[in-house]
Copies of this chain bind each other. A is one copy, B any other.
Amino acid sequence: MDLRKLLEEVKNENIDIDFALEKLKDLPYEDLGYANIDHHRELRNGYPEVIYCEGKSDEHILGIIDKMNQKSSNILGTRCRKETFLKIKEIYNHAEYEEASKILKIQNHDIENIGKGKIVIATGGTSDIPVADEAYHTAKFLGNDVDRIYDVGVAGIHRLLNKRHKIDSARVIVAVAGMEGALASVIGGLVDVPVIAVPTSVGYGANFGGLAALLAMLNSCASGISVVNIDNGFGAGYLASMINKL
């Protein structure tokens, strides 16, 4: 957004004031009435557009994809219902869908590898895989080298210690765990790289939909850990990618 240049053009009378006003008002969001699309994002940071599909009608999702596709953007959809995907697939037959993690991908151009190191994604258990895979597919689509270590929860600490070399190879780690969510603390104590903790809603009873793991992760006695929302694999994958790009 080059404000100086705009003002220079105003001064040089290359553009008139009303146009400048319009420009200033009209940053590059395309307003569909029900949605404001930010077309400059990919330009700015090389990232694909992301649509959070939950709670949006199929019509709205299709409308947004349509506009994005006109710019040949790569498009990532999260929490996409399968039925919605099937409607999308009819129009965009190169659309892909990861069923467990409900990730939609429409790849309109090559993905540039922008990550400087490796992202490692670990889970406490097998049941955490859908969330972990949301992080995995997100980070991959954003141009990263990603490794997965699944079912290495702390109740069998040697399962984790056995993977020590993989953990040590990471530039950023995503620790995905439900139940008591202790995985993040243990990994945080083993490494000196940022750990993004993702509490999952896996569990029951006093788990309270992931609250137990969330609180545990926020209270970690290890340093270098931060937390995203419960089941927010996308957020973790995105942030891991942002850090890995630094």
Residues of A within 8 A of B (CB): 1, 3-4, 7-8, 10-11, 13-15, 17, 20-22, 24-27, 29, 33-36, 38, 44-45, 50, 52, 54-57, 60, 64, 100, 116-117, 124-127, 129, 150-159, 161-162, 164-165, 171-172, 178-182, 185-186, 188-190, 192-194, 196, 199, 201-232, 235-236, 238-239, 242-243, 246
Contacts and interface: CB of A to CB of B under 8 A. Distances in A.
Q: How many copies of this chain?
A: 8
- What are the 4 A-B residue pairs with the smallest beta carbon separation, nearest first? A205-B230, A182-B182, A55-B127, A226-B226
A192 B242 contact: yes
B156 A38 contact: yes
A181 to B, nearest CB: 7
Contact of A243 (B17, B194, B212): B194
Nearest to A1: B162
Nearest to A53: B127
Nearest to A57: B100
A175 to B, nearest CB: 12
Contacts of A20: 7
Most buried by B among A13, A29, A152, A220: A220
Contact of A218 (B27, B129, B178, B205): B205
Contact of A206 (B158, B226, B229): B229
A213 to B, nearest CB: 7
Contacts of A36: 151-152, 156, 159
A65 B72 CA distance: 46
B206 A218 contact: yes
A4 B236 CA distance: 35
B226 A227 contact: yes
B56 A246 contact: no
A195 B168 CA distance: 24
A19 to B, nearest CB: 10
21 contacts: A3-B24, A7-B10, A45-B192, A54-B204, A55-B202, A60-B126, A155-B189, A171-B246, A181-B216, A204-B232, A207-B215, A215-B215, A215-B216, A216-B216, A218-B227, A218-B228, A223-B238, A223-B242, A224-B242, A225-B235, A226-B235
